[in-house]
A and B are shown apart, each in its own frame.
Chain A
Amino acid sequence: MNEFIEQFLIESRELVEQASDDLLALERRPDDRERLDSAFRAFHTLKGAAGIVDFAAMARAMHAAEDVLAALRAGTGRVTTELVSNCLACLDQVVRWLDLMAADGEPPRDAGAAADAIVQRFAGSGILALLAVPEQSTAGWIATLLAGHPAAASRPRTAIRYVPDPACFFRGEDPLAVIAGVGGVEALRIETAEPWPELDALDPFACRLILLALTTASPEEAGQRLMSVRDQIEIRPLQAGTDGTGAAQLSPAARAVLEEQILLLDEAGAEGMAGKLASAGRVAVNVMRSLGRPADADGLGDALASSEAAHDPAILRGAIRQVPDGASVLSPGPAPAAPDPGPAHPEGGARVMRVDVERIDALMRLAGELTVAKNALDHALGLAQGGADGQALALILKDQHGHFDRLVGELQQAVLGIRVLPLERVFQRFPRLVREMAGSLGKEARLVVDGAATEADKTIVEALFEPLLHGLRNAVDHGIETPAERAALGKAVPAVIRLAAERAGEQLVVSIADDGRGVDIARVRGIAAEREMLPTAELAALPDDKALDLVFAPGFSTAEGVSGWSGRGVGMDAIRTAVEQLGGRVVLDSRAGQGTTLRLTLPFSVMLTRVMMVEAGGQMFGIPFDAVLETVRVGRDRIAPLGAARAFVLRNRTIPLIALAEAVGGRAEAEPPPEASIVVAAAGGQVFGVEVDRFEGRLEVMLKPMEGLLAGMPGLAGTTLLGDGRVLIVLDLQGLLQ
């Protein structure tokens, strides 16, 4: 990927986040001048950045949003929910573009339509009314321009309004030459900012003109050519309806053939996708060529190429849909309400990350110290070769070893430090999501974020997004009451949802607390009984906190209806699974009428895992330490068969037992000792025993994920190398249970 594009992607994502943050803050405090300026700057910079990578469509869309914000800054109009929503929608589109660019390495070619939609959104969605802009100034001028040039109005595709800075002459700008440079100018109208003064009072070096032009250049072309004066212009695409002609209409046969290709692409599953893609693309290109529309044919050819590169038929399908057919396009794309999320980050996260210079410097320093340590080792080697006394040599080596030990420890810390990110990276996306979720559910909620500066390993931070999103959905959907209910209960409106993070030793604790109605434990019990999740007697004996834990069971839900936001209890189940995959735990705490708290405890880093080593079937295994509750030795007579399996009783509790050697396909010892060595562990909400041959020590390991043939094997979490060169297989207990 081109270096500029890489930089563009990093910066743009940051700017989008910044702008979202500012917009949401603005919605709460419309008079916050600093936030307004900051949002404006973010949009402005996005526009400029788009210009640098030649992404004219995005620059145009950003310009439309920037205009609105500029008007706000100038004091015309005020911040409204609709305006914020429009700006946020604009940012969503940018994110989709960025994802496409991350996949293709270049600006998407078919972005024009989406950019038009954004420009329309700002022009059309009553922005005039919102902003109370004098009628003359925005959409009005296009109508005036078109009305004044009825003859010219048939062909142009773009309207330009250019208000040169009065001092532009001093900068060597020549506005008319700029307009002429756009090319294809069909009509020009010149207005003056104010009435002309008396001729003798006229300053010949102050530009007082407003230039309005209609051109046959496309909005993208115009935008590109006007880039140098982009802060003084307004570019509006003319709708197909206004220009009347556009491209020639497709013949019915051609239309039918193209529609066939769309259908073919619609059904293109993974199987045979490449073939279908290629054939549909070739047919579509040939149709356009035979109609004598080489430009459209080339466009489709490009779309085919990017579709093939991205293994995504949607690109080609979209391009065929957008083939101009008379005044409109062949078929409108999918409804904008369900935007194509685009290719997600291919490897589940950005591959480029920003690192604090200080952290790099620390690594540099360590590299230097390691070199010095190595040189000291050379000295010891020299002594050894010279036949030095073993005792003295051992002393020197011991010293060196200590030195190395310290340096390696520091190096490990420094490397982990590079991967450390503040949780802000995920947290900052939530205020907006909570706002939208609450809005769509008719509730009012405010998200309070605490401890966003808390840091954790990149993998953890990035993997937290989804479980937290599920948790927040649950809080908004099931936790908090509607404003009416809250008012009746005498609770404050809006409801407060608190998202907090803190470090607790080597652990990271993230919690989502709402001040809603709390979980109805009686209902939880009722549903558990109804679904026969537990025997009735056991259920009745279950203490409340254990009963609450049932909501994490797969498929459980206390919601009466299925809302668009949180499905039937998939959320809680998904949270537990995701968090446990990261080596963490989840607990739910609820107080009737006061609220619910979901607490996620995660390791600070996934790289260092503490394992307990055990031996079974002649092989060493590691069991993640955080899953281990205790180790016990149990007499064989206390282990009883339970159906096809075995179980034993520990402190009046029946615990199922797995023989590790058998579970991993090894041999059991020929002569089992009279007492079984058992690791009592908890995973997936279950407590069970793992029978091993021997307990060994504990170890901190850097876990390497399984690769190759072993990758798909359930029950194995990864491997690590032992000091003597043997491979230690670390178990995934949850996988082992299944």
Chain B
Amino acid sequence: MRRGTFWSWLWIALGVIYFFVPLVGSFTFSLHAKLGVLSFKAYSDVLQDPNFRINFFASVAWALSTIVIGVLLFVPTAYWVRLKLPRVRPLVEFITLLPFVVPAIVLVYGLVRTFSRPPLMIVNSPFLLIFGYTIMSMPYMYRAVDTGLRAVDVPVLTEAAQSLGAGWVTIMLRVVFPNIRVAVLSGSFLTFAIVMGEYTLAQWLAKPAFGPYMALVALTKAYEPSACAIISFALTWAAMGIMQFVGRGAPGGAQVAGAH
């Protein structure tokens, strides 16, 4: 594998350059907040702004909630489709990719109109925002879960579990979930990032969130916007690292349980 390793490092290095240089560009700029001196003034301005904390952690809350609801909604569905309704699968897959197509502004416009009058008057509830985010993250979350399930022989596992006397709940919790943990994690990363950066839904539904906050900062400040972007990048990355750590089980990529 030694020849392979050289090439691997090369591609990684190129990737690192491409990804980090623009970040460095932003970062360098943000250090000029104090005239003539390189300083972290822009960063302290941002971090000391109470609105930063409020909006950032609000978005974190939305993101985690979206992940939970997404998992609860999509995993059983994907499992069921795989197991019992294979013919419905193309339709379901198509549906799950639809959010890609609907622009956020159209979605939120529709959501506001639909849910701002009785009997479904939930426009003020944070749940509307969370549900909207769940829809937006559906392509990624569902796809990730589905990929994970695909690598696992679902019918065999289910039969085995059932023959051991397991009920549905047990199957879900103790058979399905552990095997698709990596996939769920991957979907969760994407969902987390999406929600953290999302602007349109939060703006129109008038909920505190990080996306609108960043847009506001960018409107009237010089150095703080790039500081904000760098901070959010770093914090989101860190949050994902934590998620990965928490969700990690036995190391190794083998996804098939048992038979190998």
State whether these chains interact: no
